[in-house]
Amino acid sequence: MNKTFWRFLGSSILIALSGCLGNVVDGIIVGNLIGADGVSAVNLSRPLIQFMFTINMLVAAGASMLVGMNLGRKDFTRAAYLFTLSIGGCLAFGLLMAMCGLLMPDTVTGWLCQNEHLWHATRDYAQWVLLGAPTYMMAWALGIHVGVDGSPQLASLAVVIDNAVNLLLDVVFIQYLGLGIAGSSIATAVGHLVGIAIMMRHFCYKDNHLRLTLQRSSATAAFRQIISQGAPLAVASICLTMLLVSANSIVVATLGRTGIFAFAVCMNLLQLYNLFVAGVCRTIQSLGAIQVGKGDDDAFRFVLRKSFRFITVAMAVTCLFVWIYPEAIATLFGADTPELLNETDHALRVFALSFIPFCYIYVLMIVYKLYDHHRMALFISFALSLTVIPVMWGISVLAPQLLWYSYIIAYLLEAIIIFVLHRHYQLRFVISNPPKNAKNK
């Protein structure tokens, strides 16, 4: 189990690392080739990507946990059927988003950006995000399912090459072809297409359990089960999207262009923390779900212990690095004036601490879900972001100089509430309804 854990976690971390570096380096390239406004435009467009990621959480991530449980029970037919519904749903949604990119790019941009100076850059980037939506949805969905089905190394290889192609084409499209900020978005979509092509190799393997198949059983009932499983993840992602849109508006209104640049750099810092969260969550959702399907509580607890130890050490090292070298990080993203450097340095140090409780709470939500504490998982998914919005708004009105502390105050409040509710309802972490052949523990 120890060897299997590190194999899954290593591949999951590599996937998250590649995605994280891709996003961060992408921001660095945009900041240096286009300027600070380019970085701001990418950040203002990020709610679109977060929204697509939300649907992926609802459909693909929810299905992947069920697929893992059915693989643990050796019900391969059911696992394949859930995989089919998941892929079909993700592709249909991606095509719908692409239609929005064709028919209503100005309307979507108006929802994202109210700053006239940044409007055109945001539109150029956001339109190509929408047009490339099918590649986003399929790359994410295939990656999580291929990993659950026993090929995490292939999924990680695909993501690494995906991001390498993206970064190479960033320079080509922006600097040499003169496509501007749109070139960065187009490069991302092309990179995803390459990653999808690589992951298709999994379906040629003899031990592949996933295939496109249909059953006579009700697709509606199966979709309901998928959505129920993925709901906490999706709600958390929706709330994070709402938080990002609200926070962008509050920061622009309170601190102006300097503030929104600093906030954009902090959101790129969040990518580093997401590196550990995504890797750990993917491992728990795949390897952990398989152990839940087997009814092996000891093995599942082993996965959780190793996951929390790893994420603790990783976050501590990251936080220390940010506190020592904030100016170097700000400079990487194009901060070239004392005003930008000072504001960004301060914001980075505060957010480096703020993201630590966020990471623990997010992973805990996955744990509650796999232990069948659905209401607690759903509560956390709402609280993760909806607590931050009123705190941030209140501070912007009463003490705008303390705006960057909004996140850490809100997350500490959430942690206290979760502890109180856990004790009040006397929740226990025990696998419910194990298979009949599982050993009673």
181-234 pLDDT, tens digit per residue, is 889 889 989 999 999 999 999 988 877 888 888 776 677 888 888 888 887 777
Burial pattern 53-73, b for ≥16 Cβ within 10 A else e, equals: bbbbbbbbbbbbbbbbbbbbb
Q: Mean pLDDT throughout 238-246?
A: 78
Structural domain count of the chain? 1
Domain for residue 430, yes or no?
no
Q: Give residue 441's pLDDT band: very low, low, confident or very high (50, 70, 90).
A: very low
Describe the crossing of helices 388-398 and 374-386 by its angle, rounded to 10 degrees: 20
- The per-residue pLDDT for range 140-185, each reduced to its tens digit, is 899 889 888 888 888 888 988 988 898 899 899 998 898 988 898 8
- Token readout for 234 is 């999706």
The pLDDT value given to residue 436: 47
Rounded to an integer, what distance in angstroms lies between the CA atom of residue 36 and that of residue 260?
10
Domain for residue 436, yes or no?
no
DSSP state of 400: G
Domain for residue 441, yes or no?
no
Domain for residue 438, yes or no?
no
Rounded to an integer, what distance in angstroms lies between the CA atom of residue 104 and that of residue 90?
21
Domain for residue 433, yes or no?
no
Domain for residue 439, yes or no?
no
Q: Which residue has the tokens 């750990």?
A: 280
- Determine the structural domain holding residue 386 and report its residue range: 2-424
Q: Give residue 18's pLDDT band: very low, low, confident or very high (50, 70, 90).
A: low
Q: Mean pLDDT throughout 256-265?
A: 86
**Residues in the chain, total:** 441
Rounded to an integer, what distance in angstroms lies between the CA atom of residue 210 and that of residue 229?
19
How many Cβ atoms from other residues are within 10 Å of residue 23's Cβ? 23
Rounded to an integer, what distance in angstroms lies between the CA atom of residue 88 and that of residue 55?
12
* Contact in structure between 292 and 373 (CB atoms under 8 Å): no
Q: Give residue 17's pLDDT band: very low, low, confident or very high (50, 70, 90).
A: low
Residues 6+ apart with CB under 8 A from 176: none
Q: Give residue 440's pLDDT band: very low, low, confident or very high (50, 70, 90).
A: very low
Average pLDDT, the chain: 85
| Torsion angle in degrees (nearest 10) through CA of 268, 274, 276, 280 | -170
Query: Residue 270 pLDDT > 90, yes or no?
Result: no
Tell me how far CA of residue 10 lies from CA of 6, 283, 317, 429, in angstroms: 5, 9, 18, 26
Query: Residue 393 pLDDT > 90, yes or no?
Result: yes
Rounded to an integer, what distance in angstroms lies between the CA atom of residue 191 and that of residue 168?
9
Rounded to an integer, what distance in angstroms lies between the CA atom of residue 334 and that of residue 352?
20
- The per-residue pLDDT for range 29-46, each reduced to its tens digit, is 888 888 878 888 887 888
